[in-house]
Chain A
C-alpha cells in the first residue's frame, strides 16, 4: 500500500510539485477509472481511450505546477479530460472528413467493444453532443458553465441537452 493513500488530493499535488512520484501514483489510482470512462464515452474504443487517458495524465504532470487549487483537483482533471477528448476527436473527425470527403456528423469509432444497442445510439451523436452529456451528467456542470466552455448560449445548451435526453430516453426505454 502506498504511504500517501490517506492523503487528500491537494496534499498529493504539493508532494508532486516537490518531485514525489509516489503521490502521482495515488492520484492516478484515485481518478483513473473516471478519466477512462470519460475518454471511452467519447471514442467508444478501448485502445483509443487508453491513448487519450495517457495524454491526459501527461498533461496533468506538465500542468500541475500551474494548478492553483481554485477548484478541486477532480474538477480540474475532468475538465482537462473533456477538453482533450473534444479537441482530439474534433481534429480526428476533420482529418477523416478531408480524407473521405464525407459530411461527418457520425464520427470515427468502430465500436468493437460497445454493446450493439448503445453503439447505435452513441455513434449517431456528434462529438459536441457527447461533450454536452459528459459535462452535464458526469462533470455535473451548470448550463451556464457548459455554455461558457463550448461557446454556446445557455438556452441553446439547455435545448440541445433536452433533445439529447429525449432521444436517449426513447432508445434505452427508461
Chain B
C-alpha cells in the first residue's frame, strides 16, 4: 500500500472527529447479549428434554 495514500485517509479520519462511544451503548449491547444467551440456554435445555425422557424409559 502506498504510504502516502494511507496518510491521506488518516487525515480524513482526523477531520471526521469520530465521537467516542459512551458506556450506555456498551450496557445496552451487553444486556441484549446476556438476554440472548439465556434464551439460547433455555432453548437448548428444552430441546434436550425429549432425549432425557427417552433415556429414562430405557
Partners in one complex: yes
> B27: shortest Cβ distance to chain A, in Å?
11
Chain A 19-41 per-residue mask, 1 if CB under 8 angstroms from chain B, else 0: 10100110011001100110011
From A70-78, A86-94, A133-141, give the one contacting chain B: A133-141
Tell me which residues from 11 to 60 in chain A have a Cβ below 8 Å from any Cβ of chain B: 19, 21, 24-25, 28-29, 32-33, 36-37, 40-41, 44, 46, 50, 53-54, 57-58
Instruction: Kindly state whether residue B12 has any CB partner on chain A within 8 Å.
Output: yes
Is the Cβ of B8 less than 8 Å from the Cβ of A37? no
Whether A122 touches B12, Cβ cut-off 8 Å, given contacts A46-B19, A115-B17, is yes
Instruction: Kindly state whether residue B42 has any CB partner on chain A within 8 Å.
Output: no
Instruction: Kindly state whether residue A102 has any CB partner on chain B within 8 Å.
Output: no
Write out the residue numbers on chain A whose beta carbons fall within 8 Å of the beta carbon of B36: 58, 61-62
Task: Count chain A residues whose beta carbon lies closer than 8 angstroms to a beta carbon of B.
Answer: 38
Closest A residue to B33 by CB, please name it.
A61
- Determine which of B8, B12, B28 lies in contact with A118 in the assembled complex, contact meaning CB atoms within 8 Å: B12
What are the 4 tightest A-B residue pairs by CB atom distance, in nearest-first order? Answer: A118-B15, A137-B9, A172-B11, A57-B29
> B28: shortest Cβ distance to chain A, in Å?
7
Whether A54 touches B16, Cβ cut-off 8 Å, given contacts A21-B30, A24-B33, A61-B36, is no
Interface residues of A (CB under 8 A from B): 19, 21, 24-25, 28-29, 32-33, 36-37, 40-41, 44, 46, 50, 53-54, 57-58, 61-62, 113-115, 117-118, 121-122, 133, 136-137, 140, 161, 165, 168-169, 172, 174
17 A-B residue pairings within 8 Å (CB atoms): A19-B37, A33-B21, A37-B18, A41-B18, A50-B21, A53-B25, A54-B25, A54-B28, A57-B29, A61-B36, A113-B17, A118-B16, A137-B6, A137-B10, A168-B8, A174-B7, A174-B8
